[in-house]
Chains A and B, each alone.
Chain A
Amino acid sequence: MQRPLTANIRPNAPPPDCAAYERAGGYQAMRRALLQMTPADVVGEVTKSGLRGRGGAGFGTGQKWSFVPKRKPGRRSYLIANADEMEPGTFKDRLLLEGDPHQMIEAVIVSAYAVGATDGYIFVRGEYKLAIARLTQAIGEAHAAGYLGEDILGSGYSLNLHIHASAGRYICGEETALLTALEGRRAQPRNKPPFPQVSGLWGAPSVVNNVETLCNIPHIIANGADWFKSLGRGADGGTKLYGISGRVKRPGTWELPIGTPMREILEEHAGGMQDGYQLRALLPGGASTAFLGADQLDTAMDYGSVEKAGSRLGTGSAIVLDDRSCPVGMICNLEHFFAQESCGWCTPCRDGLPWVERMLRALEDGDGEDEDLHQLQRHVGLLGPGRTFCAHAPGAMAPLESGLRHFRDEFERHVRERHCSWR
């Protein structure tokens, strides 16, 4: 089984330095792209590969790149790696950032070349101290090797690459909020259109891609779109970093063919449930995805199959709910997070999420009423897609809506018995 993204990553070992990365075939895709391909060739190959964004939304990467207008001489434009990984339950990009920082840098160079960017940023959450340190060192090495800066490899292409260490705010992972943060402002999302590819950072063309998405690019350029497509097990191409956390025997992250069934990930890679615990349900792709029940474990973890099952692939990082944890308490924790991290820009999100959290807290404390369940259901609609400025609140409603369906009896029991029987 091929694992291109994690081939150089060894557990509990330092990442490869520039020389070791090159010995493993690193920076060859960059040479090929910059010296033998036009930017349009690179965009074309990525489009042909069918690569979809691995940060949660799943938008076609080549298509996203194709929206960048033709470069005007003297105008700055930007390629930004979104490494603001703050979705609860998601820890996949940290593996790539810490484990193989030169792969990240090569990915940014090739992608920046493709979209004609003059400057690159890696936007990292502030808590990822080790990743920031390793990336800083790797950027220094890449500069020394002549892979960054002016006239890279004599190709005529120049790129400045910067690290932006953020200071902790979940909404920065939303691409327009991330741009606002990079400008030194309160990181509130922006209206679309105009899309960032046309008017992004400082009003200049900007492309924001997730870390895992970008790390696929050198491999697509080195091996071709057809090779990439052949890696997947279903309609989607490539591999995927899947993570599992919760009461499983071996929580962790694995690179597997996209489309691997959840049962295989859970039982073969994560080792199944811990002794004494049973699987009740799981959030397949991070905190902002809908629950899948234990009877849906055979769902293939690709975009279409997970959507057909009623949820989203999201980040591909599953959070397992076991049979000894309270589903209402779990949802209450999730909504506390979303309420706390609302940027406050639009009223439904700013006021609605704390309201939802308070109702769930009341249920947990034994103060819930029948009417609360109706109100929670009502909020699912009021804070759903199309009602708010960005996808934060609709994302928050995914576990609530599906939780009300999957665990209706638990919600009713909290009201009826006037306490949480799991405590």
Chain B
Amino acid sequence: MSTADIIEPRTDEPLSEQLRDEIRALGEHEAHPRAACIAALQRVQEEYRWVSDAHLREVAPLLGMSPADLDGVATYFNLIFRRPVGRRVLLLCDSVTCWLMQRERLEAHLRHRLGIVPGQTTPDGDITLLPTVCLGHCDHAPAMMLDNELYGDLDEQRMDAIIDGTAKAMP
């Protein structure tokens, strides 16, 4: 798929009525609606890749929360994105076993290949590179997650193949 084929989500549009209903239902399923706030933010992210201010302001009253309260939760968690991310999010594990297994060399390779540093998105909007807490794949360190797929036993070649879409997850 070329980048031209991808329809970009419109974060300036209001949430669909269907998604709003879904979020209400998530809240009703819980003892208190706010307990569904992570699940609700995850749903918004599935649709739009990140949680914009406008969407956050829409979600908050559906769960009986103020926008500031919900923002306090949203910004607390590593996997809720409050800034735009690329079409693919690459989480490179930065924890100790991966460090022992040369993850720094791989990060340098990624920086070179993608032309960005962790926290940034490639200029074409394809990949956002983020550091992440231990992915629990230490027996296959160094490890990374791309688009929710877990990959281990990384070296430069395997990492390139993963980004190019020619490598299998979970070795």
Contacts and interface: CB of A to CB of B under 8 A. Distances in A.
Contacts of B15: none
Given A168-B77, A183-B32, A85 B136 contact: yes
A324 to B, nearest CB: 10
A168 to B, nearest CB: 3
Contact of B38 (A167, A251, A337, A341): A167
Interface string A106-131: 00000000000000000001111110
Contacts of A219: none
Nearest to A270: B139
Contacts of A167: 38, 41-42, 77-80
Contacts of B101: 246-247
Contacts of B134: 86-90, 287, 337
Interface string B119-159: 00000000000001111111111000100101000000000
A10 B100 CA distance: 28
A190 to B, nearest CB: 15
Interface in A56-110: 76, 85-91, 94
A340 B95 CA distance: 11
A128 B95 CA distance: 16
B78 A168 contact: yes
Contact of A127 (B42, B97, B145): B145
Contact of A245 (B30, B133, B141): B141
Interface residues of B, number: 42
B37 to A, nearest CB: 4
A245 B137 CA distance: 9
B71 to A, nearest CB: 10
Contacts of B136: 85-86, 90-91, 94, 125, 127-128
B38 A245 contact: no
A271 B28 CA distance: 52
B41 A246 contact: no
A316 interface: no
B14 interface: no
Contacts of A76: 31
B147 to A, nearest CB: 10
Contacts of B37: 184
27 contacts: A89-B96, A89-B138, A90-B134, A126-B77, A127-B79, A127-B135, A164-B39, A165-B39, A166-B38, A167-B38, A167-B42, A167-B77, A167-B78, A168-B79, A169-B77, A183-B32, A183-B34, A183-B35, A184-B37, A184-B38, A202-B32, A287-B134, A319-B100, A320-B100, A337-B96, A337-B133, A337-B134
